[in-house]
């Protein structure tokens, strides 16, 4: 599900300061009084950002959204899915303004250290990421690097922590906090408007290589609890210490919750609905499952995968009605 990060050597460009990259400087963070220097703790130590960064590279998969929401255009982003110019989905592209489209990096075969160094960044951000200790050592030789926080699985950082940490790193902590509070207010409104969500069990899943379920530390699962649902007991025991994992057919009953949201792979919906084991579960026969469109160009699919301060308004507008239909007791109105 996630591309493995493997060894890539060569930090020569970082050490010599060579390399072309994008010569157009992105919009820099506006320095706030007392914002710098700032020290940010991460899984591997402390990162000191001495002044407002001018050239930010993201090696995490969603941090470009937080940067753009704060008016900072990264020089490079890391591709996850969708093949969008600059790895920017529509909600983020709208914030680009006159800024140059970021260069797109890939971590398919490991982090591209040479390309990162050639961009001459003064800050590297990888919060929603799986940076290893070896990766971190190489990245910090290029520029100060904000890696994923301690205490959560790789790719398990919350959208609030992403936004606030990025805000700290670019000198806009107050603005980031306001963005977070604005989205949290909308979640509060959803809970008030949909009391039927309260304490109903719900789960996020994908038909990736069978039945893949997301754990309590995955941002998608946290969406459900933010709406008022509860995650099934024993969920993390079933998947271990990861953000998600496949379960065997013998454990398919774990999918039989009061609401279930599917993120299909290409062709996954039809296959899943024909699955003889799944189609007999109550969650299916009673229409309590929600199928997000299996289309990388679909706005809800991308927004629910990103779970960012820019994508969440789309999730709130489009996923909530589907969940409301799923739990209303009428199979004909399932999401």
Residues 6+ apart with CB under 8 A from 154: 2, 129, 130, 131, 148, 242, 243
What tens digit of pLDDT does each residue of 22-43 get?
333 333 333 444 589 999 999 9
* Max CA distance (Å), the chain: 65
The DSSP bridge pattern shows strands 211-214 and 202-206 to be: antiparallel
Q: Taking Cα atoms as reference points, which of 150, 185, 187, 149 lies closest to residue 168?
A: 149
- The predicted-structure confidence for 80-114, as pLDDT tens digits, reads as follows 998 999 999 999 999 998 999 999 999 999 999 99
What angle, 0 to 180 degrees and rounded to 10, lies between the N-to-C axes of helices 219-227 and 299-306?
A: 100
Question: Which pLDDT value is given to residue 34?
Answer: 53
d(CA 106, CA 58): 11
**How many Å apart are CA 221 and CA 290, to the nearest integer?**
14
pLDDT at 334: 66
CA distances for 294 relative to 100, 155, 206, angstroms: 30, 22, 11
* pLDDT confidence of residue 279: 93
Rounded mean pLDDT for each run of 10 residues along the chain, 335 residues in total: 36 34 35 75 97 97 98 97 94 94 95 98 98 98 98 94 98 98 98 96 93 94 97 90 91 96 83 92 95 78 95 96 91 69
Q: Is the pTM of this model over 0.85?
A: yes
* Packing angle of the helix pair 173-193, 159-169 (nearest 10 deg): 160
Give residue 121's pLDDT. Answer: 98
Domains parsed from the chain with CATH numbers: 38-180 (3.40.50.1980), 194-328 (3.40.50.1980)
- The CB density around residue 71, as the number of other CB atoms within 10 Å, is 16
Q: What is the dihedral of CA 196, 269, 63, 127, to 10 degrees?
A: 90
Q: Identify which of 95, 109, 90, 112 has the alpha carbon closest to the alpha carbon of residue 298.
A: 90
Write the burial class of residue 110 (CB in 10 Å: 0-12 exposed, 13-18 middle, 19+ buried): middle
Q: Please give the pLDDT value at position 39.
A: 97
pLDDT for 297: 67
Beta bridge partners of 108: 110
Closest CA to 35 of 177, 182, 184: 177
């Amino acid at each position: 599900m996630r591309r493995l990060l493997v060894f890539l050597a060569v930090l020569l460009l970082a050490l010599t300061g060579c390399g072309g990259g994008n010569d157009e400087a992105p919009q820099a963070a506006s320095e706030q009084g007392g914002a710098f220097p700032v020290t940010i703790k991460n899984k591997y130590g402390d990162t000191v950002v001495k002044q407002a960064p001018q050239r930010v590279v993201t090696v995490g998969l969603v941090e470009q959204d937080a940067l753009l929401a704060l008016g900072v255009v990264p020089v490079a982003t890391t591709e996850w899915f969708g093949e969008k110019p600059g790895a920017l989905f529509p909600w983020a592209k709208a914030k680009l303004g006159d800024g140059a489209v970021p260069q797109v990096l890939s971590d398919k075969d490991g982090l591209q250290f040479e390309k990162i160094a050639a961009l001459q960044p003064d800050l590297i951000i990888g919060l929603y990421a799986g940076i290893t200790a070896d990766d971190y050592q190489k990245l910090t030789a290029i520029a100060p690097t904000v890696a994923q926080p301690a205490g959560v699985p790789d790719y398990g950082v919350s959208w609030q922590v992403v936004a606030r940490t990025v805000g700290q790193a670019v000198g806009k902590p107050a603005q980031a906090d306001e963005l977070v509070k604005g989205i949290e207010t909308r979640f509060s409104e959803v809970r008030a408007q949909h009391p039927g969500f309260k304490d109903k069990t719900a789960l996020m899943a994908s038909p990736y290589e069978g039945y893949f379920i997301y754990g309590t530390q995955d941002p998608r699962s946290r969406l459900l609890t933010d709406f008022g649902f509860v995650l099934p007991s024993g969920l993390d025991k079933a998947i271990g210490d990861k953000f998600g994992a496949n379960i065997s057919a013998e454990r398919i009953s774990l999918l039989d919750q009061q609401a279930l949201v599917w993120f299909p792979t290409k062709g996954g919906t039809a296959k899943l609905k024909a699955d003889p084991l799944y189609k007999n579960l109550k969650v299916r026969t009673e229409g309590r499952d929600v199928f997000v469109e299996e289309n990388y160009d679909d706005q809800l699919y991308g927004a629910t995968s990103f779970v960012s301060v820019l994508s969440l308004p789309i999730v709130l507008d489009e996923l909530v009605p589907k969940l409301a239909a799923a739990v209303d007791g009428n199979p004909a109105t399932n999401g």
